[in-house]
Amino acid sequence: MLSSYRQIFAAPGSLAFSASGFVSRLPISMTGIGVVTMLSLIRGSYGIAGAVTAVLALSAAVLGPQVSRLVDRYGQRRVSRPATLVAVAAGTALLACARLGAPDWTLFVCAAGMGVMPSTGSMVRARWAHLYSDAPQRLHTAYSFEAVVDELCFIVGPILSIGLATAVFPEAGVALSGVFLLVGVWLFTAQRRTEPPVHPVEHRAGGSAIRSAGLQVLVVTFVATGAIFGSVEVVTVAFAQEQGHTAVASVVLAVYALGSCLAGVVFGALRPKGSLAGRFLAGIAGMAVLMVPLVVVASLLHGTAGLVGIGAALFLAGLSISPTMITVMALVERLVPAAQLTEGMTWTTTGLALGVALGSSAAGWMVDAAGAAAGYWVPVAAGGFAAVTALIGLSRLRAGLHAPAPEPLASARP
């Protein structure tokens, strides 16, 4: 198994861009929860904190794919460095406004400016695709490795962000995420020899990658998938609080990510059978089915036993995450031309981000109305919607995979 991962890092510069990509991706898991923790401590209002975080998510959903589109056209270094400076400046302004007691509207303006944060995860995967476009098994292993890195970010990031905000000072988590973003992007973009070539001339009249029917299916499905993740997080915290063990929630959620990590490591060393579209549908269906035990456990078990049961159910549910994510990235690589790969991958993460925001809101409403145990029906419903969407869109996805990819009109490296 380890030999498969050693092989992908045989390419010169691969370890450097992957490692720096990890540092620059940590803010994705730190910023939102850091803003919530900071504003709840400083302003004493979860309502304001949640609203500001929602604006941040919506801004990233609107601006993120546009930044990635510019990356494809003008290069990772030329676009991501200025975008990072804008995002860090907006984040610094948010910290100042929160600390100095500025009017609430200033918080929303600053959060909107932070939405230009570049999608380093997409840029890392674009580099792997550039290196191993002619070696499908190595590309599969590389995507698997990056899926594991994503899960590690979501294990380490929230713990760092919340811990610093509560133990040091409220702004510490968001401040550190800004440092990680700035340092990580600068180190990542310094790796010039592995940067994919740019395509300064539009390669087709169609414009944006989102015009791909297959990609649209993936994005809509990922909105529902993101709703699973967002609702599971909120409901699990509420469930732990009801059982009198709020602090244990972070451990239970870490077990969820651990299941995904282990599945990603194993999946990356395998040679998966069947079509990509079929594996995608199977992964989404598995995700949906594995949400059901959460409702059963939360209804039947309470106290410590309930938390242990939820942890076990989440570990099993996590086993379906990384293989599905890896398959989706492979699908994007097949559905969109190389000239639009970063943008295409960013659209999927945008769908996830929107879904997380929707799922968190729906779960919070359900918990307030019917209690934490009933709240687990939200990820069950989201999983069902994701499975139905994937099934309905399967024919469009297969058609997109069999359609010939258009050739770029021109390409050049600056």
Q: Between these two residues, 164 and 178, which has the higher pLDDT value?
A: 178
Amino acid at 144: S
Tokens of 403: 């359609």
Determine the Cα–Cα distance for residues 189 and 149; give it in Å rounded to an integer.
18
Which pTM was predicted? 0.80
Phi and psi torsions of 280, nearest 5°: -60, -50
Tokens of 137: 């098994």
Average pLDDT, the chain: 85
Q: 113 and 87 in contact (C-beta within 8 Å)?
A: yes
Q: Between these two residues, 246 and 197, which has the higher pLDDT value?
A: 197
Name the residue among 322, 324, 270, 271 with its Cα closest to residue 1. Answer: 270
DSSP letter for 405, please.
P
pLDDT of 20 reads 93
Where are the alpha helices (H) located in 45-103, listed in sequence order?
46-74, 76-100
Q: 49 and 40 in contact (C-beta within 8 Å)?
A: yes
Determine the Cα–Cα distance for residues 45 and 98; give it in Å rounded to an integer.
12
Give 412's strand partners: 198
Greatest CA span in the chain, whole angstroms?
63
Give 266-275 pLDDT, tens digit per residue: 888 777 777 8
Give percent of the chain above pLDDT 90.
36
Give the lowest-confidence range in 134-138, 261-265, 357-361: 357-361
Determine the Cα–Cα distance for residues 138 and 268; give it in Å rounded to an integer.
9
Q: 279 and 337 in contact (C-beta within 8 Å)?
A: no
Domains along the chain with CATH numbers: 1-6+13-200 (1.20.1250.20), 208-403 (1.20.1250.20)
Provide the CA 398 distance to its chain's centre, in angstroms: 24
Phi and psi torsions of 320, nearest 5°: -90, -10
Give 82-116 pLDDT, tens digit per residue: 999 999 999 999 999 999 989 989 999 999 999 99
pLDDT of 408 reads 39
Contacts of 400 (CB under 8 A, 6+ apart): 212, 213, 214, 215, 217, 335
Distances, alpha carbon 128 to alpha carbons 122, 197, 363, in Å: 10, 13, 36
Distances, alpha carbon 279 to alpha carbons 320, 323, 326, in Å: 11, 9, 10
Determine the Cα–Cα distance for residues 1 and 268; give it in Å rounded to an integer.
8
In a 3-state reduction of DSSP, which class is residue 412?
A: strand
Q: What pLDDT band is residue 264 in, cutting at 50, 70 and 90? A: confident
Name the residue among 15, 336, 339, 98 with its Cα closest to residue 6. Answer: 15
